[in-house]
Structure 1
Amino acid sequence: MRSGILLFLLIIYTQSFAQEHFEMKQIIENHDLADPWEILYGPDNWLWITQRTSKTIVRIDPQTGNRDYLVGIASAYQASTQDGLLGMTLHPDLGKGLDNDYVYVSHSYFDEMRKQKLVRYTYTLNGADGSLGDPVDLLTDLPASNDHNSGRLKFGSDDKLYYTIGDQGKNQFDNVCLEIMAQALPTQQEVDNQDWHTYQGKVLRLNTDGSIPDDNPIIDGVASHVYSYGHRNPQGLVFAADGTLFSAEHGPKSDDELNRIVAGKNYGWPHVAGYQDDQAYAYCNWSSADNCGGFDDYSCPISAEITEESEWSHDDFMPPIKTFYTVEDDYDFIDQSCDVKFICWPTVAPSSIDIYENTEGVPGWGRSVLIVSLKLGRVFRQPIDEQGNAVGEAMEYWDTQNRYRDMAVHPNGQEFYVITDNRGQTSGPSSSNTDDLENPGTILHFKYREFALTTDETPVDTQMMQIHPNPAYDKANITFSSTINGLSKEIKILSLQGKTLYHQEDIFAKYESPCLKPGVYLVQLEVGGVVQTERLVVR
């Protein structure tokens, strides 16, 4: 079923954190999507989208905004902000006439309790109208919760399905007295009985019929669907062209993670958040406390078990390749100027990731992981080397007053599509805590455009400043490249959440920062429309 939607709101958007320039347009109207969760760029050149709360899947023509309704899933159960219709992936042969026109989806359902399942649908196209039918349950009775279901689903080049399930939000909020099971592994008897309750905090790998692959890792003596474990809330999952699997994972109050997923590896949660460095995190097991209850993000009950990261060890522990962000052990998480405390924590809330490997797309980008941020309303581009390691600092793009949920990359490598939440808190470019979203429940299209930045016909040096010392102790000196001598400079020092802490214009000589308390900051220099951003650590 198709409907015409007016294509509107063309905005020329010059990105404030990097030198590349993009054009932004909004493809459909605000709230035309009902809490979208997944967006895919299909082989038909349409955008395929799951909607978590309406429990429907649609295709949208990115050129016109026309909508094609594919299916509604009445059996999907939605009662919280992280359940309902979630992940989706397309069979690589879809539309090729090879009888593999399959679409795989995940959703929660209710059968005496909340659960998850993976389902295969068959896609048919009648003229311009598509539909999904003939549902086949692949894997049912998976654990589900009102929190941290994760729900990312990918089709691997090995013809296997990969699926993320979070830790169910245990040990916090309404689930504070439930013990985290991210380290728990299934027994052989549980596998034989198809008891999947230990699949919490895991990345699963399964055959396309839902069965356990013969070459899945044997962990603790048992082969199951479990591919990796020790995860908190891995809402991002993507394959590189060489088969490397990356995941993005929400941290607690710091240490969001970018991980390279390897078969059989243990990613540490809840014993480790980020690196195993005893910095700003220790595992407080609230479920062990006497009279458990009354969760507090900033304290641990006296009677509860609490362990430092270094007190735990595991032969198969795999650290992240990057964190967003690791801070010192004495970091003050309670920002009195912040109305909504989690917005000001040193995290980005990575709701999804994508891979970028197009050599003819945006100049200078190279191989990168693109990380979508909920609470900051922007996308981070983290360069990745051929071995799958993070290289240098992440760059920031497309900051708007929104919550970004997922993104898709056009095959040309120069166009990007981002779906936005319908509601929720963000800081966005204003650095304020607000639920007044600019583009809720819609699709934003960012397109690279050639734009030569020059000053007096001479290209500006992209390495315009150097910070020293870095790390610093209370103050840092900033010196400038000789190519921008005589030009007026503007300096901002920002928090990791993008909040401007210090701002000075009309600088011509070197700049000494004000006294800064220990923490991690962003130093932003703007000269003639060109912006360079560097990270500053103060000890």
Structure 2
Amino acid sequence: MTVRRRLRIAALGGGAMAATLTLTACVGGAGPVTSTSPSATADARSPLVAESSPTATVSAETALWRTAGAPAALAGSLRVPWSIVPFADGTRIVSLRGGAVLEVDASGSTRTIGTVPDVNVGGEGGLLGLAVLETDAEPWLYAYLTSWSDNRVIRMPLVGEPGERSLGPAEVVLEGIPRAGNHNGGRIAFGPDGYLYIATGDAGNTGASQDPASLAGKILRVGVDGIPAQSNPFGNAVYSLGHRNVQGLAWTADGTMWATEFGQNATDEINRIVAGGNYGWPVHEGPAGDPAYIDPVVTWTTDEASPSGLAAAGSTLFVAALRGERVWQVDVDASGALSDPQPLWVGEFGRIRDAVIDGDELLLLTNNTDGRGSPSGDDDRLLSVQIVEAAP
């Protein structure tokens, strides 16, 4: 494990601890903007909030967060889960790679609310990341999936009340992301600026990661309709490039964006993401000290991590590790890591696919049945552990 440390700097912004985004920010001074459809934007290249007015509250929050106790199972018998999104009403939505979408209530009961169409479960593909856009009317569920021809992002209205929800018709948000048997990326998240960020893999074509015209090996940034943000650095959907296989996205309370990335044979990474940043793949794996590229902030050997989902609370990151079979706790600020990452629950729950903050809980998804677990393929769990604020 390698940690790059720099001088601490003051936090300048705010970050959301929830995985959902409620659209009530001011746009152009015109007052609160609400909509029953993500299509109703004031600017076709913008989300429902102005780029200069992020929904996160500006503060000097530098709090560190710690887990309290051991994770407890909220739900079990999940068949290859990949992503969790929590709701303010206490329910959680979980994606299964086979295409099903589950609702988990506060008691841990699960029900299938729908099946996403056109999902191709080959190699590492399938139904992957989820994100929720809550509006004044029906919320929208965004999903990243592998189809028979590409990777794509779709959205579906979530119809009905908790316990009775179903999925409405699917609409394509962004298509044409290269797919392959592996390196499909898959994580999506709404940032504090209201835009949708999409993590993609190189799909086995390493050269595509350095090509700003390709959607492969990138972090993308689009509005709620899939139209690239006008201020994106390359005039298209690409926000950052030079990635191999990003599967975790999160923002700390100061507004800094972070991503986890699978290495090839030697080095897994946490990167601090900036617009237009080039993170080196395939020219470099891990830190290189090359001024043409941005070095990772934290690295591990692949048997320590294989990092997937990423959660942020205050100034603390929680990294879900697959091959490493643990959660990494990493304190950071905008300049880098503040101390050595701490491993949690090593080997106790097997492979951890996703990590999400929901209020004062850290939610985790295990992923032990993805061709590596029991033949029944249905023994994975949704876990929860309380988190508490620690002294900075």
TM-score range, shorter chain: 0.7 to 0.9
Counterpart residue number, 2:331: 383
Deviation digits for residues 375-433 of structure 1, max 9, x if unmatched? 12210101112x25111100111231411110222302xx322111142698xxxxxxx
Determine helix, strand or coil for the equivalent of 2:210: coil
Paired position in structure 2 for 1:480: none
Aligned to 2:223: 207
Q: Residue deviations 1:164-212, cap 9 Å, x none? A: 1111134xxxxxxxx53211121xxxxxxxxxxx211100011111112
| Structure-2 separation of matches of 1:254 and 1:127 | 44
Please list the CA deviations of residues 51-73 of structure 1 after superposition, one character each: whole Å capped at 9, or x if unmatched.
112x0111102x42112322201
CA separation of 1:124 and 1:231: change in aligned 2, threshold 3 A: same
* Letter matched to residue 391 of structure 1: L
Cα distance per residue 1:35-94 (max 9 Å; x no partner): 1110122222112111112x0111102x421123222013111122x1110111111x34
Calculate the TM-score normalised by the size of structure 1.
0.56
Which ranges in structure 1 are unaligned for 5 or more consecutive residues? 1-18, 171-178, 187-197, 278-309, 326-344, 358-366, 427-433, 451-539
Letter in 2 for 1:59: E
- Structure 2 letter corresponding to 1:368: T
Q: How far apart are residue 248 of structure 1 and its match?
A: 0.4
Specify the code of the residue in structure 2 equivalent to 1:125.
Answer: G
Partner residue, 1:160: 195
Q: Where does residue 125 of structure 1 map in the other structure?
A: 160
CA distance in 2, matches of 1:123, 1:438: 27
- Which residue of structure 1 lines up, in the alignment, with residue 232 of structure 2? 216
In structure 1, the residue matched to 2:381 is 442
Listed one character per residue, the Cα deviations across residues 85-120 of structure 1 (whole Å, up to 9, x for unaligned) are 0111111x34xxx2362111111111xxx3011111
* Equivalent position of 2:71 in the other structure: 24
Counterparts of residues 415-426 of structure 1 (less than 5 Å): 415-423=361-369
Count of residues in Structure 1 that have an aligned counterpart in Structure 2: 323
Structure 2 unaligned residues grouped into runs of 5+: 1-65
Residue 143 of structure 2, aligned match among 105, 108, 112: 105
Large movers: runs of 4+ above 3 Å: 434-440, 447-450
Change in CA separation of 1:379 and 1:234 when aligned onto 2, cut-off 3 Å? same
User: Which residue pairs with 2:299 in the alignment?
Assistant: 323
CA drift at 1:354 = 0.6
Who wins on radius of gyration, i.e. which is larger?
A: 1
In 1, Cα distance between the equivalents of 2:241 and 2:263? 15
CA distance in structure 2 between the aligned counterparts of 1:449 and 1:242, rounded to whole angstroms: 18
Q: In structure 2, how many angstroms separate the alpha carbons of the residues matched to 1:72 and 1:447?
A: 31
- Give the alignment of 1:236-251 within 5 angstroms: 236-251=248-263
Q: Distance in 2 between matches of 1:68 and 1:443?
A: 14
Paired position in structure 2 for 1:68: 111
Between the aligned partners of 1:134 and 1:437, the Cα distance in structure 2 is: 31
Contact 2:83 2:354 in 1 (8 A): yes
- Map 1:3-14 onto structure 2 (within 5 A): none
**Partner SS state of residue 134, structure 1:** coil
| Correspondence for 1:374 | 322
How far apart, in 1, do the equivalents of 2:192 and 2:138 lie?
15
Are residues 1:397 and 2:344 paired?
yes
Give the 3 Å change call, closer, same or farther, for CA 206–449 of structure 1 in structure 2: closer
Aligned counterpart for 1:182 among listed residues 209, 213, 216: 209
Provide TM-score, normalisation by structure 2: 0.76
Deviates more, 1:263-272 or 1:38-47: 38-47
Deviation of 1:270 (Å): 0.6
Residues 49 and 207 (structure 1 numbering): CA distance in 2 closer, same or farther, change over 3 Å? same
Residues 402, 439 of structure 1: 8 Å contact kept: no
Does 2:58 match 1:58?
no
Residue 209 of structure 2 aligns to a residue whose secondary structure is: coil
Structure 2 CA distance for aligned equivalents of residues 60 and 88 of structure 1: 14
| CA positional deviation for 1:437 | 12
Task: Tell me the equivalent position of 2:11.
Answer: none
Once the two structures are TM-superposed, the CA of residue 133 in structure 1 deviates from its matched residue by: 0.5
Task: Work out whether 1:260 is the aligned partner of 2:275.
Answer: no
2:125 is equivalent to residue 83 of structure 1 = yes
CA shift at 1:448, angstroms?
5.9
Q: Which amino acid aligns with 1:238?
A: A
1:410 and 2:358 matched: yes
1:258 positional shift: 0.5
Q: Determine helix, strand or coil for the equivalent of 1:182.
A: helix
**Do residues 229 (structure 1) and 241 (structure 2) align?**
yes
Change (3 A) 1:323 1:425: farther
Q: What is the identity, as a one-letter code, of the residue corresponding to 1:140?
A: E
Q: CA deviation at 1:256?
A: 0.8
Report what 2:306 is aligned to: 349
Aligned residue for 1:273? 285
Preserved CA contact (<8 Å) 2:79 2:378:
no
Asked if structure 2 preserves the Cα contact closer than 8 Å seen for 1:22 and 1:449, the reply is no
Distance (Å, rounded) in 2 between the aligned partners of 1:420 and 1:127: 24
- Determine helix, strand or coil for the equivalent of 2:165: strand
1:44 corresponds, among 85, 89, 92, to 89
Distance 2:385 2:87 in 1: 17
Q: Which has the higher contact order (CA 8 A, sep 6+)?
A: 2
Change in Cα spacing, 1:383 to 1:127, as seen in structure 2 (3 Å) is closer
SS in 1 for 2:350: coil
